[in-house]
Chain A
């Protein structure tokens, strides 16, 4: 079974600064996907960024980027130029490659952006 660990229950960052959220995972699979989802106070789960394990290049989406270290099974999220709207819970998630897309989530990191 796969496990996803987020060791930072809460974090805060000043507006316009950069913050990095940590995530580690454990799997015996070689082909898989990793995700960061954002859950704002509205409760809606929103995909922020995704990484395919077979790609060495780190994924980026505007102000969001990841540092994917496959050997270390580490998948951190960097948010640059933090904005007030980034305040949310952030969940790291894992999905094995295959026909059925079962996603395993970490316990989340609550990020507060301070004006």
Chain B
């Protein structure tokens, strides 16, 4: 398996524009997580899905952020409109079903720069 695949790896956009980050989890994994990493706040969990259903979105900072998981193999994180303070590395991670499968596998992240 190729692992968790995120696209794009880098994104530079102007303030006010819409940004969509994409994630393909590992096949067979039923939990999917979106994290944001910044120097100031470290790794923050934004939202996570189980069986394509959002379980906890309390980490989503504002209504400008939204996430979807239309099927088991694809998820998006959208920011609209984007702001310079949204600049960060955004990680997607997935994990296997079952209580004993505790490891989260991470993608390589999308570095977002909003100018």
Q: Point out residues on A near B: beta carbons under 8 Å.
A: 33, 35, 42-47, 50, 91, 95, 97-108
Contact = CB atoms under 8 A, between A and B. Distances in A.
A47 B103 contact: yes
Contacts of B73: none
B106 A101 contact: no
Nearest to A42: B108
A43 B89 contact: yes
A102 B56 contact: yes
Contacts of A104: 45
Interface in B55-111: 55-56, 89, 91, 93, 95, 99, 102-104, 106, 108-109, 111
A110 to B, nearest CB: 11
A98 B106 CA distance: 20
B56 A44 contact: no
Band of interface residues on B: 20 to 34
4 nearest CB pairs, A to B: A45-B106, A105-B43, A107-B42, A43-B109
A101 B43 contact: no
A100 B108 contact: no
Contact of B43 (A42, A91, A100, A102): A91
Contacts of B103: 35, 47, 50
13 contacts: A42-B108, A43-B108, A44-B108, A45-B91, A99-B50, A100-B31, A100-B48, A100-B55, A101-B31, A101-B95, A102-B33, A106-B42, A107-B42
